[in-house]
Amino acid sequence: MKPARIVESFPAPEFRAGQNQALSDIQSAYEAGNDVVLVRAPTGSGKSLLARAIMGCARSKQTAEPAQATGAYYTTPQVSQLDDVAADSLLDDLNIIRGKSNYTCLLPGEHDTPVDQAPCARESGFDCSVKHRCPYFSDRAIASAQPYAAMTLAYFMQTAGSDVFGKRDVVVIDEAHGLAEWAEMYATIELSPERVPVWDDVGVPDIAGADDPLDRTARFAETLAGVCSQAKDDLTAQPELTPEAVARRDRLSELISELNWFVDDYREPESQTTWVVDQSGGEGTAITIKPLDPARYLHHTVWDRGEAFALLSATILNKEAFCRQVGLDPDRVALVDVEHTFPVENRPLYDVTQGKMTYEHRGETLPKIARLIVRLMAHHPEENGLIHAHSYAIAEELADRLAEFGVGSRVRTHTKASRDDELTAWKASDDPEVFIAVKMEEALDLNGDLARWQVLCKAPYLNTNDSRVARRLEDDQWAWYHRTALRTVIQACGRVVRAPDDYGATYLADSSLLDLFDRAAADMPPWFREQVDRCSRPTLPAFDPAAAVAGLDGSAGTGSRQRSVTQHRNESTSSSGQTRTDADADQRADHPLSDVWGDG
C-alpha cells in the first residue's frame, strides 16, 4: 500500500468541506504503521469518495513482486449502497459483481432463468456455448481481473477461499458499524423443516433437555452433515436436475459447510467463539445455532482477504469495543474522525415524548403517539414525513388508529413483501404522504423534499429474549446494549438531512430515548452530542384531523385530471377509514386491467 497516493486517487474534481483533511488524517494513520483505519464519517461526508481514494493506494500489478497482493476490494452489507456506487459516475472504475441469482441466462428458452438455476447448474458436464457472454461469468471475470472489485459483504464472505477472488492489498468496508452483527447473522445456522431438505430423514433431539445442550447439538450436527452429504451426492450423480433439485443440492452444500464449520469451531480448543443454541419446542422442533463475537469467522472471511483495511461508518462509536467484537488488535487500529459539515440548526431534535414504549407501557403510550402524529401532520401539512415504527406490530396499530382518526388518506404502510414497492410509491407521490416504516433506519437517502420530518416511536433496543442478547446481558455487557441502540438512533437521524443545505426535523416520541442519551453519553460523537444538547420541546397545533390532511387538496398534482383523481381517492379513503396503501390496493383490484397486473 502507498498511502502517499491517497489525495491524487480522490475521484472528484474538488473536495467538499473536511474531505481534504480527512484524507490527510487517513494517510498519516497508515504511515504510522496501522493495518486498519476506522473512518468515522457522518452523513454527507462522501464516504464512497473517501473509499475510492483509499483503494487507489493499493499496490499495482506493475510494481508488485510475483507473490505480493495487488488491487483493492470495496464491500458493503447494504445492497442499496452498492446500487449507489454502481450509479455514481465518479466511481465507474469499481467493477461490480453480484451473486448468481441477480443474473439471467442467455440461452434460448432460458431468458427468465437465474444463472444459479441455468442449464450449467442443472446438467452434469454441461458445456455452455455462450459462457464467454454470460452476464454473471463476464462480470466475475472483469471484477477478478481489474484493480478494483466491488461486491456486497455477503458475496465477499461467500467467496472466502475462492481461487477467483483471492487476497488483495487493500479492503474497504463501507457501513462497517454492524460488521460483528452481520458476521453473527451469516454464521447463524437455522435448522428447520424449511431450511433442511432432509429434515424428515433425521431424528431431531431435545437439545434443551440434554445434560450438555451444546455438545448434544454438535453431535447432532455431525449426524445431520452426514445425511446431507449422502443426499447431495445422490443429486450430484444424476445427469440432469430440475431447477428445484438444483436449489435442493445447493442448499445441502451450503448446510454441510455451515454444520462442519460449527463442529470444527466448537471442537477447536483455541477458538474464542461462544455458541448459544435455541430450541423452544423440544424434540423434533427447529434449532438455531448462533455464535457470539465470531472473531474466528471474520478472520477467515474478511481479515485474511487483505493486507490493509479501511472501515467506514458514521457510527463506530467506541474503538476498543468495536475491535474486541470483530477480533482486531486495537494497537494496530487507528480511528479517524471526519468533521460534520451540516449546520446543527438544520438537523434539530425535538422532545415530544409521550411516555415509555416498553412492552408493559405500550398500551398506554401508543395511542398518545398516534394523536401526536396527527398534530405533527397538521404542523407539516405539505411535507412528507417518515415514522420509524420499530416493529410491524407498532406500525399496524399506528396505521389503524390514524385511519380511525380520518387521516388515513395521507398514510402509507408496508409489509415485508411490499417494502420496496411502497417505499418507491411514497417517494414518487405528488401528495405529502406520511410513511410508517419498519427497519428503515439505515441506507435510506431522503434528500430534499422527499422527507422534511420524521418520528422515532421507540428506543431501538435489541430484544432481550434473543439468546445472544440475553447471554451478553448475563455477562453484564450493558454498555454494549445501550451503544447498539444509540447507533441505530444516530443512523435514523441521518435519513432526512443529506446535504449541508438540506434540513429536516426529528421528533422523539419515546421517553426511553432521553434515558438512552444519558446512559450512552460516553459513546456519543461530538456532532451528535451537539444535536442532543439543543433538543427542545416544540409548539404544536392542537389535535385536528382536518388540519392534518389539509395539504391533500390536489394542488400538488399536475392538471385537473390529477386533482380529480387525488380528490376522489382522498374522499373515498377518508370515508372508509383506509390508509393510502389500502385504498391504492383496492383501486388496482377494481380496475379493468387488474387481471393483467396480477391484483385481481
Q: Are 287 and 278 in contact (CB under 8 A)?
A: yes
For the segment 431-448, what is each residue's pLDDT rounded down to a tens digit?
Answer: 999 999 999 998 888 999
Cα diameter, the chain:
74
Distance CA(527)–CA(497), nearest Å, equals 14
- How does DSSP assign 15-62, residue by residue? PPTTHHHHHHHHHHHHHTT-SEEEEE--TTS-HHHHHHHHHTTSPPTT
Q: What is the predicted pLDDT for the residue at 563?
A: 40
Under the banding of pLDDT at 50, 70 and 90, the label for residue 40 is very high
Can you give the pLDDT at residue 593? 59
**Mean local confidence (pLDDT), 223-237:** 95
Nearest to 573 by CA among 565, 436, 110, 368: 565
CATH of region 3-93+147-184+295-337? 3.40.50.300
Residue 31 has pLDDT above 90, yes or no: yes
| pLDDT, mean of residues 390-407 | 95
How many Cα atoms occupy the beta-carbon half-sphere of 327 within 13 Å? 21
Instruction: Provide the whole-model pTM.
Output: 0.85
What pLDDT does residue 599 have?
Answer: 47
Q: What's the rounded Cα separation, in Å, for the pair 350 and 55?
A: 40
Nearest CA to 56 out of 23, 33, 89 is that of: 23
CA distances from 286 to 12, 36, 185, 204, 248 (A): 51, 39, 17, 8, 19
When pLDDT is averaged across residues 224-248 and rounded to a whole number, the result is 93
Q: Which of 489, 491, 521 is nearest to 508 (CA)?
A: 489
Torsion region of 175: left, alpha or beta (phi above 0 gives left; psi -120 to 50 gives alpha): left
Q: What number is the average pLDDT over the span 414-435?
A: 94
The residue with cell 398514510 is: 411
Say which residue, 259 or 294, is predicted with more confidence.
259
Lowest mean pLDDT among 251-260, 419-428, 433-442, 551-560: 551-560
Q: How far is CA 372 from CA 351, 353, 359, in A?
A: 12, 9, 19
User: How many CB atoms are located within 10 Å of the residue 103 CB?
Assistant: 21
- pLDDT grade for 111, boundaries at 50, 70 and 90: confident
pLDDT of 568 over the 60 cut: no
* pLDDT of 562 higher than 50: no
pLDDT given for residue 590 in this prediction: 60
Rg of the chain over all Cα atoms, to the nearest angstrom? 26
Q: Which residues contact 219 (CB under 8 A, 6 or more apart)?
A: none
What confidence tens digit (pLDDT) does each residue in 127-175 have?
888 888 999 999 999 999 999 999 999 999 999 988 899 999 999 999 9
Q: What grid cell was written down for 166?
A: 483471492
The string of pLDDT tens digits covering residues 476-505 is: 999 999 999 999 999 999 999 988 899 999
Which pLDDT score is estimated for 598?
54
How far apart, in whole angstroms, are the C-alpha atoms of residue 369 and residue 163? 55
Look at residue 570 in the predicted model and tell me its pLDDT: 52
Helix (H, G, I), strand (E, B) or coil at 74: strand
Name the residue with higher pLDDT: 339 or 228: 228
- What would the grid cell of residue 161 be? 477461499
Length, in residues, of the chain: 600
Position of cell 445492497? 79
Q: Between 581 and 599, name the one with better pLDDT.
A: 581
pLDDT of res. 466 = 87
SS3 9: coil
How is residue 206 written as a grid cell? 431435545
For residue 577, pLDDT beyond 80:
no
pLDDT of residue 551: 87
Q: How far apart are the first and last CA of the chain?
A: 59
The grid cell for 383 is 411535507
Mean pLDDT, to the nearest integer, of 3-14?
95
- Look up the CATH number of domain 344-549: 3.40.50.300
Banded pLDDT at 556 (limits 50, 70, 90): very low
Segment 15-21 mean pLDDT:
88
User: Position 550: which residue type?
Assistant: A
* Spatial distance between the Cα atoms of 141 and 137, rounded to a whole number of angstroms: 6
Residue 272 has pLDDT above 90, yes or no: no
Cα angle 35-40-43, degrees, rounded to a multiple of 5: 145
Angle at 578 between CA 575 and CA 579, to 5 degrees: 130
- Strand pairing class (95-96; 168-174): unpaired
Q: CA 271 → CA 236, 268, 291, 293, 379, distances in Å? A: 34, 5, 11, 11, 56
The candidate with the shortest Cα–Cα distance to 402, out of 416, 417, 389, is: 389
Q: Say yes or no to pLDDT of 374 above 70.
A: yes
Burial class (CB in 10 A: 0-12, 13-18, 19+), 443: middle
Confidence at residue 397, expressed as pLDDT on a 0 to 100 scale: 96
Q: What is the pLDDT of residue 586?
A: 67
Residue 528: per-residue pLDDT: 94
Specify whether the CB–CB gap between 277 and 217 falls below 8 A.
yes
pLDDT at 209 over 70: yes
Domain pair 3-93+147-184+295-337 / 344-549, same fold: yes
Write the burial class of residue 26 (CB in 10 Å: 0-12 exposed, 13-18 middle, 19+ buried).
buried
Query: Which sign does the torsion angle of CA 493, 495, 499, 503 carry?
Result: negative
List the grid coordinates of 14.
474538488
Question: Are 24 and 37 contacting, i.e. CB atoms less than 8 angstroms apart?
Answer: no
- The confidence score (pLDDT) of residue 558 equals 35
Lowest mean pLDDT among 56-65, 83-92, 115-124, 134-143: 115-124
With H, G, I as helix, E, B as strand and everything else as coil, classify residue 290. strand
pLDDT of 485:
96
- Domain range list for the chain: 3-93+147-184+295-337, 193-285, 344-549
Identify the pLDDT of residue 596: 54
Mean pLDDT of the chain: 90
Query: Could you tell me which residues come within 8 angstroms of residue 434 by beta carbon, excluding any fewer than 6 positions away?
Result: 373, 377, 384, 385, 386, 387, 402, 410, 411, 412
pLDDT beyond 90 at 16: no
**3-state helix, strand and coil shares in percent for the chain, rounded to the nearest 5:** 45, 15, 40
